Amino acid sequence: MQEIKLLVQEQNVETVLTILENLKSGLIAEMQTDGKTLKTKTAQYQPKAKSATREENRAAEQGGSKYLSPSAFKKRLHAKK
């Protein structure tokens, strides 16, 4: 495992730590400042896997065309009111 050392001015320590903590989970195994080991955060948000809705699939569901016919558009417009 590689080790990277940074020399940071005292006034910028919190900013650098915030940036490092917000990196992708698992990238940093351990962080230390002046010999003190800091905890690394685990992922708070993990999106649920969904199948992507493709434009071709939507077009097929709406009757095979990407665009509505003028009469279908008017009908849909009046239905929303």
Which pLDDT does position 4 carry in this prediction?
Answer: 85
User: Distance between CA atoms of 5 and 47, rounded to whole angstroms?
Assistant: 33
Query: Which residue ranges in the chain fall short of pLDDT 70?
Result: 39-65
What pTM does this model have? 0.44
14: which residues sit within 8 A by CB, 6+ positions away?
none
- pLDDT score at 42: 60
In this predicted structure, what is the pLDDT of residue 43?
Answer: 58
Return the pLDDT at 11. 92
